[in-house]
Structure 1
Amino acid sequence: MNYNKNSLNEFLFVRFQKGDELAFEHIFKASYNQLVGFCLQFVNNREEAKGIAQEAFVNLWLNREKILKITGINAFLYTSAKSACLKHIRHLQVVKKYSDWRLNEIEKQLQIESLDSLDFNSMEYVELYELIQQSIENLPEKSRMVFEKKRFEGKTNREIAEELGITIKSVEANMTRAIKTLKVNLTEYLPLFFVLIILS
């Protein structure tokens, strides 16, 4: 969905710039799936694509005051996502599978605006990422282990219970405790609805 005066009025855009969470949620719901689809053209892995798209929205929220016009929202999101996708490709050492021609064709097709003139500081995202990691590390040991096995390793409650030698109810209780603690820590920096997406 491209943002213009017909799809996102000036009032909503101004509210977004000023930190209105409902305005940000509107933007997220309107663009998230398309951004994930864009990322899939590069990384070919839905979970990776979703993570990169969410990172782009985090960057958008942290830099909302630097977006000077409605069309800058899409420009920022897609440029940020593309940069992260290419970084991911290089990291996996599969960039050779993607010819320069293919990447250029994708970019032309989407007609993404350049953000060269935007003063983007990625340090804010790095600091937020470190906060998330630190918040997880500071969880009580059992809650941290349950959370990591559930979210990062994709294990079921039964598998976690067997590995840790605890009951399934204990797994559920520790997971609930972990999410509740992380919500409190992270909602100081991000809208609640987005924190819930990150933790889901």
Structure 2
Amino acid sequence: MNDNTTFKLYLDKDGQDLDSVYLTHYAALHQYAYTMLNDGHMAEEMVHQVFLKLMERSEPLNIHTSVKAYLYRSVNNECLNYIKHQKVKQSHQTYTMNTMNHQTENPAGKLQYKELEQHLRKAINDLPEQCRIIFQMSRFEELKYSEIAAELGIAVKTVENQMSKALKRLRLQLADYLPILLWLLINLM
């Protein structure tokens, strides 16, 4: 496979062409992504995303530059998208924090916060007993699902199902307080 000519990537059924490209370029692409993200795990994730997208293509890929240049550009784009997503996420968290701080500084905000606390306590207390216990152990005692399962003598899957049930019920009951609730849950985790 010549790296400097127009290249058509055909995936045979066992993916050998892509495997060969992956093995040839993975280490360098990972290092490149790491220099952009400064996070080994996310660098690995970005490189895997590029190859996953290549695998999922149903048509051959025409590359008019070198394969290496195409892969570097793809990893670069994945990293930039990830960075952009992180900035949006951070911006949203900052906005939520500022909104919360502003709301709790004025009397109306304090009242709304107290009202939310009351509604949250009531909503938690209204959960079925096992569901409530599991939710409290997870959110307030910060136990992992496996730790909760071991302590209660139940399956981890049961803990997952009960947490899902609890969060769904709380979301429905506290829909009017979602921005404040999001801030609280982010800070409790």
Normalized per residue, the structure richer in helix is 2
TM over 0.5: no
Tell me which structure has the larger Cα radius of gyration: 2
**TM-score computed with the length of structure 2 as normaliser:** 0.43
**TM-score computed with the length of structure 1 as normaliser:** 0.41
